[in-house]
Amino acid sequence: MITNQRQYLFAQSQAERFRQALAAPDVQGLHPKAAKAMRAGLHSQLDDLEAEVAEYDALRQGKITSLEAESIVGIGAALIKARIVRNLTQKELAERLELAEQQVQRYEATQYRGVAAERLQQVADALRLRVREVFTLEPG
């Protein structure tokens, strides 16, 4: 997941490198099956990067208004996405929380794993994020 502008720009440049590699002729002397596998890998990497760039663009443009976490572990990714939707930098979120920017960077690097529930709520509040928990009992 792309979490900031620096990563976004890097992902865009990497995607362009993959596009150029795919546009180039196959390497001479490379076995056709190896060349096909290499191109398939490049396509797969490019598809992943393009999906991440598209998601970041959609978040930044406010096209996403509802975020879901399929598990408690997914809360961190939802908080990061909410920050992006709010067009806040990590530094701006840190200021709202009265923390050092590096602390928000550490939280996001681990997708808020190991962070106390009270802090998660403070982040959600700073992002003006209404959280509704739904717990579903699995059959059996």
pLDDT at residue 35, rounded to an integer: 87
Q: Does residue 30 have a pLDDT over 90?
A: no
Q: Does residue 136 have a pLDDT over 90?
A: no
Spatial distance between the Cα atoms of 40 and 35, rounded to a whole number of angstroms: 9
pLDDT digits (tens, 9 = 90+) for 67-78: 999 889 999 999
* CA 109, chain centre distance (Å): 10
72-126 has CATH 1.10.260 classification: yes
Domain with CATH 1.10.260 in the chain: 72-126
Spatial distance between the Cα atoms of 124 and 111, rounded to a whole number of angstroms: 14
Q: How confident is the model at residue 84 (pLDDT cuts 50, 70, 90)?
A: very high
By mean pLDDT, which of 13-22, 51-60, 65-74, 121-130 is the weakest? 65-74
Spatial distance between the Cα atoms of 119 and 94, rounded to a whole number of angstroms: 12
Q: Does residue 135 have a pLDDT over 90?
A: no
Answer whether 0.75 is exceeded by the pTM.
yes
Q: Does residue 132 have a pLDDT over 90?
A: no
Tell me the helices (H) and strands (E) count for the chain, helix number first.
6, 0
Q: Does residue 28 have a pLDDT over 90?
A: no
pLDDT at residue 105, rounded to an integer: 96
| H or E stretch at 130 | none
Burial (0-12, 13-18, 19+ Cβ within 10 Å), 102: exposed
Q: Does residue 93 have a pLDDT over 80?
A: yes
Q: Does residue 63 have a pLDDT over 80?
A: yes
Residue 128 region by backbone torsions, left for phi larger than 0, else alpha for psi between -120 and 50, else beta: left
